[in-house]
Structure 1
Amino acid sequence: MIHLPFKASIIVPVYRDWEGLRSLLEALRTQARDDVELIVVDNDPEGQSAPDDLPSPGLEWHIAECATPGSYAARNAGARLARSDFLIFTDADCRPAPGWLTAYLETPKPANALVAGPVIMQAGSNPGEWEIFDTVRGLHQEVFIRHGYAMTANLAVPRAVFDRLGGFDARRLSGGDAEFCRRARRQGHDLLLEPEACVFHPARKTRLELVLKARRIKGGQVATGPITRRILWTLRSLVPPVREMLAYVSSEHPMRWRLIACHVRLMLWSVELHELVRLLLLRQAPERR
């Protein structure tokens, strides 16, 4: 048996978000360990160098490069470099809560299970309409798990399972986490929630950020994967997001926030319809940012 030097490897893809990474590194300082490594994968094909003044996360860490476009290709590259039997994925714009690593590493769990933690959306002190929408919409990891998948913003996978599955589909620019989890479940691996392994995610503050995300997700839905699923997503995209807006209206947020969320969601639906035209009729490339 080969003895690996670390108990876990944290893998973080980054695409020009060095300020986000700076905050993540600072958040990791509170849970410094010598049995965990951090692998940051720079996914910028133009090779813009990382700032020289990034803070130490209190873990052994290094920055690798992956010029292949897409965060899933970058995560695969990080996994190949990992020197442990347990891979923990998060994103440069996430902030691991104190106790995040302890919850993943010290809580007993089945040997071949995928484990995911909550992703808690955070708004600032004086949020605008875009930030309000992103907070009301949220990122409900526990709901996603009930539907058979989890976000790589907060997902842990045994190395043996990851290798057996062949990693993420590197061709995907969006939705690769859902496809990976469903593939794992079809092969008999459980997907479990670890409620104490939380990360925080700042709500997006600008229209551009939300538009780029909507376009990226739509590309993952209708431009990649099996043809039957792509057709289904195309048809679903043509239906107004009434069910989603009803969920906003019935949430516990202030009524003003609920109404703003519904208004912004309708705006984003128009963005999605335009993206369908761009992808399916004009045959243009999916958004990667």
Structure 2
Amino acid sequence: MSSSAKKISIIIPTFRDWDRLSICLSALSKQTFPKSDFEIIVANNDPADEMPHGFVIPENGAVIKVAKPGSYAARNAAIVRAQGQILGFTDSDCIPESDWILNAYNYFLEHSEVSRIAGHIELFFKRDQLSPAEVFEKVYAFKQDLVAERLNSSVTGNMFAHKKVFDEVGLFNDSLFSGGDHEWARRAHANGFNIAYSERVSVKHPARYKMSELVKKSRRVGGGRAGMKRTNLCKSAAKVLWAVIPPFTEVNNYLRRYGSGMSAYQKIQVLAIKGYLDFVERLEEFKFSTGKTAERG
């Protein structure tokens, strides 16, 4: 890869996920944006897990090894190395559309007031008949329009930002195993760096198929929230008790916005799963208030 500066650096953390990373890199090799103008930095977060024999890295790509555990530590190591004026983030299980980078670059050119982009994340499913977990994901997962609108944030599965934002507000909090993207976004917003959602800056992401995957994520999110702001034991216990009440209003709002075409049974599934996952998340926060420490999810 050339040592000259690039317009864009694409950063991908990975952890024992070579098969899906290969698909992601294949999609990046087919980008309509000139290869000479962007670089790809893959941050391998398990240095002991060597790249498989015959694994193909694009000519404008590189793999670095990051020993400190956590995807935010991996991203930070790549950011320090990055040569691009713009940083683009995705994950090894994502498949960028062919015009992903070009559309992000053009969006910044056309909207000079925007410092960060929350890109669209399109779910895909194993089969036509959705599992209960997939039904829930269809309504709740990766709603980047809402994340940008309500939280001035974006998940790092599909985010672009000017490098100067990181230069000013600093790197991700690499002590966190979840929620580090939102913690960083709060700092960016507080420093006046705004964000916009773009449907055209799009990647595909597999929906979680099993309930166990949703539970694992909720525990990770609960731990990440607790890591960002420790609450006392009484408040954490109260949150657990409050989570027992089904979130009827919230779920109804999401169903009206994202549940088009769902059956009544599927809508009941969404409500039941959301209530259960809220309880799991709050219970994890409670455990942290009693002294539990964060681990990789």
Structure 1 residue runs of 4+, over 4 Å off? 227-237
d(CA) in 2 for partners of 1:183, 1:248: 27
Who is 1:93 aligned against? 93
d(CA) in 1 for partners of 2:209, 2:166: 34
The root-mean-square deviation of aligned C-alpha atoms, in Å, is: 2.5
Quickly say closer, same or farther: Cα 1:186–1:276, change in 2 above 3 A.
Answer: closer
- Listed one character per residue, the Cα deviations across residues 104-153 of structure 1 (whole Å, up to 9, x for unaligned) are 12331327711221112222223322222222222111111112211111
What is the count of residue pairs matched by the alignment? 283
- 2:289 pairs with 274, 280, 285, which one? 280
Give the drift of 1:28.
Answer: 1.7
Contact in 2 for aligned 1:215/1:287 (Cα 8 Å): no
SS in 1 for 2:36: coil
Who is 2:197 aligned against? 193
Contact in 2 for aligned 1:150/1:181 (Cα 8 Å): yes
d(CA) in 2 for partners of 1:97, 1:230: 45
Q: Which stretch shows the higher mean deviation, 209-218 or 29-38?
A: 29-38
Counterpart AA for 2:156: T
Quickly say closer, same or farther: Cα 1:249–1:31, change in 2 above 3 A.
Answer: closer
Who is 2:36 aligned against? 34
d(CA) in 2 for partners of 1:165, 1:229: 28
Question: Does 1:22 find its partner at 2:22?
Answer: yes
SS in 2 for 1:50: coil
Who is 1:10 aligned against? 10
Instruction: Flag structure 1 segments of 5+ consecutive residues without an equivalent.
Output: none
Who is 1:61 aligned against? 61
Who is 1:129 aligned against? 132
Give the drift of 1:236.
Answer: 4.7
Counterpart AA for 1:42: N
Who is 1:171 aligned against? 175
Give the drift of 1:8.
Answer: 0.6
Counterpart AA for 2:173: D
d(CA) in 2 for partners of 1:178, 1:230: 24
SS in 2 for 1:219: helix
Instruction: Spell out the pairing of 1:206-225 with structure 2 (5 A cutoff).
Output: 206-222=210-226, 224-225=227-228
Contact in 2 for aligned 1:248/1:261 (Cα 8 Å): no
SS in 1 for 2:222: helix
Counterpart AA for 1:43: N
Counterpart AA for 1:16: R
Who is 1:49 aligned against? 50
Counterpart AA for 1:135: K
Who is 1:254 aligned against? 262
Who is 2:156 aligned against? 152
- 1:138 pairs with 112, 137, 141, which one? 141
Contact in 2 for aligned 1:97/1:199 (Cα 8 Å): yes
Quickly say closer, same or farther: Cα 1:220–1:62, change in 2 above 3 A.
Answer: same
Contact in 1 for aligned 2:236/2:289 (Cα 8 Å): no
Quickly say closer, same or farther: Cα 1:278–1:228, change in 2 above 3 A.
Answer: closer
d(CA) in 2 for partners of 1:257, 1:54: 41
SS in 1 for 2:27: helix
